[in-house]
Structure 1
Amino acid sequence: MQLFIKNMNEERAVEALNWRYAKPYDLYNNELTNDSLKEFLGGSYHAIVDQNNELFGYFCIGESAQVPPGRKFGAYNEDMLDVGFGMKPSFTGQGYGFEFCSFIFSYIQENNNDSPHRLTVATFNKRAIHLYEKLGFVKRTEFDTDTTSFITMVKEA
């Protein structure tokens, strides 16, 4: 499989915002609204396409990658590069995660500063946590929202 970074455009954003994940991963479902579309097109999101130019996933950096309630718990007080991403639901659980994430972090490493990287993940998402640990991330902070517990994971650049 070959992956490529493309600009996030409206067509790709609408597709990604309409993805639906099975329970319990439905926490990661987005809603297609004017605000969510504006965020996806605001410059912090990047599309990832395969060799057929089909949308495979996306990633975002900065504040868009943070879970807002975590801010009041100090989860984002340290100066780090927050990274978030989503993979097309039909590709999840198929063994693509390591290649997908490695591709994203290689790109970020080549195109951004040397700040440590931070991810935020729901604590129930054991397969993602295991993957992030394989990629060298370690657990840092835990916080709860009204419905879900999250952890931040950090990797020194």
Structure 2
Amino acid sequence: MKCIIRNMNADFARSILSWKYDRPYDFYNNSMDEEGVREFLSGSYRAIIDDKSRLFGFLCTGESAQVPAGNKYGVYRAPFVDIGLGMNPNFVGRGYGHDFMTFIIGYITQNYTDTPLRLSVATFNKRAIHLYEKMGFVMVDEFASDSAEFITMVKKDLPK
């Protein structure tokens, strides 16, 4: 699978906001509204397009990649590049996760050299946690929001 990064635009944002995941991943479903579009156009999101010109997923960095409830637990104090990501539900569960995550890690490490990576994931998402562990992420913190329990995971050994 070959992917490329594109700047986020309103069409990509609206498409992503309309994605619907099956249970239990419907936790990640969004509402289609202008506030959501503005968030995706904030400058911290990128669209990921596959080699067939399909919107395959997205990534975000910084505060947009953090779960706000984590701040009250202090899980984001250490200097890491926070990353968030989402895969088009049409491709979820079809064996693309490793290549997708490898692409994202490569992009992030090219643009944020020598800074370790951190991500937050809902604890019920065992499939994602398993993938992140295979990619070298380790759990460092746990916290809860009003809607779910989360862990933060970090990757310190970055590809050269």
Q: Could you tell me how far apart the structure 1 residues matched to 2:4 and 2:50 are?
A: 6
Counterpart of 1:125? 125
| Superposed CA RMSD | 0.9
Q: Could you tell me how far apart the structure 2 residues matched to 1:52 and 1:147 are?
A: 36
Note the C-alpha offset of 1:114: 1.7
Question: Does the residue aligned with 1:90 lie in a helix, a strand or coil?
Answer: coil
The gaps in structure 1 that reach 5 residues or longer are none
Aligned pair 1:60/2:97, yes or no?
no
Q: Could you tell me how far apart the structure 2 residues matched to 1:33 and 1:75 are?
A: 29
TM-score by length of 2: 0.95
How many residue pairs end up in the alignment? 157
Question: Does the residue aligned with 1:91 lie in a helix, a strand or coil?
Answer: coil
Note the C-alpha offset of 1:147: 2.3
Question: Does the residue aligned with 1:89 lie in a helix, a strand or coil?
Answer: coil
Runs of 4+ in structure 1 over 4 Å off: none
Note the C-alpha offset of 1:5: 0.7
Q: Could you tell me how far apart the structure 1 residues matched to 2:28 and 2:116 are?
A: 24
Q: Could you tell me how far apart the structure 2 residues matched to 1:47 and 1:79 are?
A: 25
Counterpart of 2:143? 143
Note the C-alpha offset of 1:2: 1.6
Question: Does the residue aligned with 2:139 lie in a helix, a strand or coil?
Answer: strand
1:41-61 Cα deviation digits (max 9, x unpaired): 111000000112110000000
1:125-151 Cα deviation digits (max 9, x unpaired): 111000000000000100011221100
Note the C-alpha offset of 1:113: 3.2
Note the C-alpha offset of 1:116: 0.9
Q: Could you tell me how far apart the structure 2 residues matched to 1:52 and 1:9 are?
A: 19
**Kindly, what percent of the aligned residue pairs are identical?**
54
Note the C-alpha offset of 1:111: 1.3
Is the deviation greater in 29-38 or in 6-15?
Answer: 29-38
What are the equivalent positions in structure 2 for 1:76-95 lying under 5 Å apart? 76-95=76-95
TM-score by length of 1: 0.97
Q: Could you tell me how far apart the structure 1 residues matched to 2:32 and 2:64 are?
A: 16
